[in-house]
Amino acid sequence: MRVHFFAEYIVYFYNGRRLLRSRPNDKNRKGYNSFPIAIGIITHSSCLHIFAYFVLLYNLMPHQKDNFIFGLHPVIEAIESGKEIEKIFIQANLTSQVAKDLQRLLRENDIQFQYVPLEKLNRITGKNHQGVVAYVSEITYQKTEDILPFLFEQGKVPLLLILDEITDVRNMGALVRTAECAGAQAVIIPQKGSALINAEGMKASAGALNILPVCREKSLGETVRFLQNSGVQVLACNEKTDTSYTAADLTGPTAFVLGSEGKGISNELLDLCDKQVKIPLMGKIDSLNVSVSAGIVLFEAVRQRTINTGTK
């Protein structure tokens, strides 16, 4: 912005000099002429008035709030009030008693945090952060052990989506949108290594994140075991297997596991899953976007269940 107005000032100064050349008998033509400078300043002052007007309009417009808070006491108060915290950055080597109280509170509430250099915090906010920045979630997370019994009590056949380390925010939003459109009842993500649920993810979900429960679990392995013990089959979507997704019986309680496009599903989860299924690819590209893959397998479950119940 400064460069823009400085450039405008140069233009006005140049125009002032042109006006001066058209007045050869002007007595002020020596050294740094006051006439062009005055014209530049006057015109530039008018631009500043216009600029101030637009700043006022900008400040009156509604703006999207940042999804982070900073400062030791504000972060502590947010945690104690029950706000959903995605993650916290803490400046390394904070030694005050308040900082120690915050770290104790984080461990008690099992909130992930990371020690970072001061420069990283300064890049997030230029305000007085006191060595702490916390990202606040846009949604309230649920627990799988609360959702599943409720589904069985309602007589519903569970259809769930488990996401292993999906770190792209837009992919996360698109996956939740796809799951909601397919009638899935919940999306399950890990507490660590997952994308932040922020404004960008909310937009990518087209509002689905406000509708579909998202369960954040400390251990996906334990969650898979819980689902299996509750009668839910857990299928891993893995392109390296030989079984097509259409060969699996998806009419019963089912949870699909999908991994990131870079790493895929972790070996721990692959070993725990009941079956592995793949989506046959006919072209030269050897992979699909993860949200596309989710849509294919979820709507295959919809197709099989629709045929099984005789509904349209």
The amino acid sitting at 185 is: Q
Closest-CA residue to 183 (of 286, 278, 302)? 302
Retrieve residue 297's tokens: 């397998």
pTM exceeds 0.75, yes or no = no
> Which tens digits make up the pLDDT trace of 87-146?
899 998 888 899 989 989 998 888 888 899 999 999 988 889 999 999 988 899 999 999
User: Residue 47 pLDDT > 60, yes or no?
Assistant: no
Read off the pLDDT of each residue in 44-50 and give the average, rounded to a whole number: 56
Distance between CA 125 and CA 114 in Å, rounded?
Answer: 17
Question: What are the Cα distances from residue 298, in Å, to 49, 96, 164, 187, 275?
Answer: 57, 51, 16, 12, 16
Query: From its phi and psi, is residue 204 left (phi > 0), alpha (psi between -120 and 50) or beta?
Result: alpha
The residue ranges of DSSP E strands in 103-259, in sequence order, are 113-116, 132-136, 159-164, 186-190, 214-217, 233-237, 254-259
pLDDT of residue 51: 57
Retrieve residue 116's tokens: 């970072």
The amino acid sitting at 11 is: V
Read off the pLDDT of each residue in 64-80 and give the average, rounded to a whole number: 82
> Which tens digits make up the pLDDT trace of 224-280?
999 999 999 999 999 989 999 999 999 999 999 999 878 889 999 999 999 999 999
74: Cβ–Cβ under 8 A, 6 or more apart, which residues?
none
Beta bridge partners of 77: none
Hey, where are the domains in the chain? 2-60, 68-136, 144-309
Under 8 Å between Cβ of 205 and 291: no
Q: Which fold has domain 68-136?
A: 60s Ribosomal Protein L30; Chain: A; (3.30.1330)
**For the structural domain made of 144-309, what CATH number should be given?**
3.40.1280.10
> Which tens digits make up the pLDDT trace of 188-235?
999 888 888 888 899 999 999 999 999 999 999 999 999 999 999 999
pLDDT of residue 13: 42
pLDDT of residue 25: 47
Cα first-last separation, the chain: 58
Alpha helices in 61-168 (DSSP H): 72-80, 97-108, 118-124, 144-153
- Burial (Cβ within 10 Å: 0-12, 13-18, ≥19) of residue 20: middle
Closest-CA residue to 299 (of 247, 238, 245)? 245
Q: Which of 19-28, 66-75, 238-247 has the lowest mean pLDDT?
A: 19-28
User: Residue 14 pLDDT > 60, yes or no?
Assistant: no
User: Residue 296 pLDDT > 70, yes or no?
Assistant: yes
pLDDT of residue 50: 63
pLDDT of residue 15: 47
255: Cβ–Cβ under 8 A, 6 or more apart, which residues?
158, 159, 160, 161, 162, 188, 224, 227, 232, 233, 234, 235
User: Residue 10 pLDDT > 80, yes or no?
Assistant: no
82: Cβ–Cβ under 8 A, 6 or more apart, which residues?
none
